[in-house]
Amino acid sequence: MNQHQSKSWFDRAQNVIPGGVNSPVRAFNAVEGTPPFIVSAKGAYMIDEDGNQYIDLIGSWGPMIVGHAHPTVVEAIHQTAVTGTSFGAPTKAEVLFAEELCAAHPVLDMVRLCSSGTESTMHAIRLARGYTNRDVIVKIDGCYHGAHDAVLVEAGSGVATFAKPGSEGIPTAVAELTRTAPFNDLNVVEQHLSTSTVAAVILEAVPGNMGCIVPTEEYLEGLSKLCKKYGTLLIVDEVMTGFRLSKGGACERLRIDADLVTLGKIVGGGLPLAAFGGRREVMECLSPLGAVYQAGTLSGNPLAVAAGRATLGLLSDVVYQELEGKAECIEAGLEDLVAKYPVSFARVGSMFTLFFRDQAPTNFDEVKECDFDMFGTFHYKMLERNVYFPPSQYEAVFLSNALSDVEVQRVISGIIDVVEELFAQ
Ligand SMILES: *Cc1c(COP(=O)(O)O)cnc(C)c1O
């Protein structure tokens, strides 16, 4: 794998962009090697500055579910661009899009558009605080909700302790309003709900940001019951799972009774767009109807709305069956490997992670027991075989429907070869 050009761009980048990247995971700090600089992508493939062509298992971290540069999506963006790219005033397309989102997702009575997943969870949390008139929120360890203060916290040492900020620059006073609890565990959540007045519990119902974790049925059902009991809102962050696990996301697939949901990634079809929404009574607290302020100059941007609508229009039941079929095929192809070596495969729908741990983790503490060095080498060796895995053990694979049997088979045989090689050493 020649990386001459990518390496030289990475050097230049580091002089003018902190760490050379505009989002930290892209720097490949968690794996061996340096990041390929991408020139273009089409269908299931990405091509880098050195002409290497990779089977893409990231799909821009989810949005490219129908494959890169899908002609229908490109055409929609093109047609919209020539009629003006931003007005700062309402458009018909936003209304149609909002109607489509509300029809697709069981939790959405009303929805508001914004530009990133980070914004969507920030606004949803403020809305929950405004609606309940409470300050404290509960966040689940290992779930990621974007890069704002309230959710960038990690677990404290004891069950009932305050969370510690997971980043410099977050005031302790802010972090103290966020309590944390382990995934798949109702006891700690209930302790929080019963000892403080909690505005909202926020979680990824199927986490993808600590690798893919399978939720137990009792957990999700229990969470929603507990929230009702204590007058706390349940916010399901579907930025990753929305339109990934089904049209109605994790909430439809796993029948979760939530108050608010956040959407991002796929809903923007590869352009910057996200959304949050939920119960009408809660959503009507938003400005200009209510007293909870929220706004955005580029919210509902015509190009992003066009790309999102075109992408969602391509997602049928058949597409979801095909996508899941590809993931099942990979799982089946790795069955012997998983039995033979201390690796495990966790999957929900078309989201999955190969963990370098004997048993698939069920919470964040267990994820931390993985062999991260081995994952780092695995990642590099897969890249050498032209398969681009997410560059961290803490991430899930995102399949696109542009992957054909040929690519699926190459992924399976690549994984088998590399894992055999790693454990032979
Ligand atoms: C990606 C992600 C976010 C953040 O979205 P950005 O668009 O990167 O700000 C929030 N929540 C979840 C579950 C995500 O996967």
Predicted confidence (pLDDT) per residue in 57-109, tens digit: 999 999 999 999 999 999 999 999 999 999 999 999 999 999 999 999 999 99
**Is 203 near ligand 1, meaning CB less than 6 Å away?**
no
Predicted confidence (pLDDT) per residue in 192-245, tens digit: 999 999 999 999 999 999 999 999 999 999 999 999 999 999 999 999 999 999
Distance from residue 392's CA to the centre of ligand 1 (Å): 16
Ligand 1 atom nearest to CA at 237: 13
Per-residue confidence (pLDDT) for residue 163, from 0 to 100: 53
Average pLDDT of the chain to the nearest whole number: 95
141-155, 224-238, 254-268, 357-371: which range is least confident on average?
Answer: 141-155
Q: Report the atom number in ligand 1 closest to the C-alpha of 143.
A: 13
pLDDT(162) > 60: no
The confidence score (pLDDT) of residue 159 equals 34
What pLDDT score does 10 carry? 98
Would you say the CB of residue 139 lies under 6 angstroms from ligand 1? no
Known catalytic membership, residue 144: yes
pLDDT of the residue at 156: 35
Residue 43: predicted pLDDT: 98
Check if CATH label 3.40.50.10470 holds for domain 71-314.
no
117 lines ligand 1 (CB under 6 A): yes
- Band the pLDDT of 302: cuts 50, 70, 90: very high
Q: What is the mean pLDDT of residues 272-291?
A: 98
Active site residue 131: no
Residue 164 confidence class, pLDDT cut points 50, 70, 90: low
The answer to whether residue 161 scores a pLDDT higher than 50 is no
pLDDT at 220 (0 to 100): 98
pLDDT tens per residue, range 15-58: 999 999 999 999 999 999 999 999 999 999 999 999 999 999 99
Task: Report whether pLDDT(167) > 90.
Answer: no
Active site residue 365: no
The superfamily (CATH) of domain 4-65+316-424 is Aspartate Aminotransferase, domain 1 (3.90.1150.10)
pLDDT tens digits, one per residue of 351-386: 999 999 999 999 999 999 999 999 999 999 999 999
What's the confidence (pLDDT) of residue 166? 78
Nearest to 175 by CA among 154, 159, 157: 154
Q: What pLDDT sits at residue 392?
A: 94
Lowest mean pLDDT across 151-160, 177-186, 224-233, 371-380: 151-160
Residue boundaries of the structural domains of the chain: 4-65+316-424, 71-314
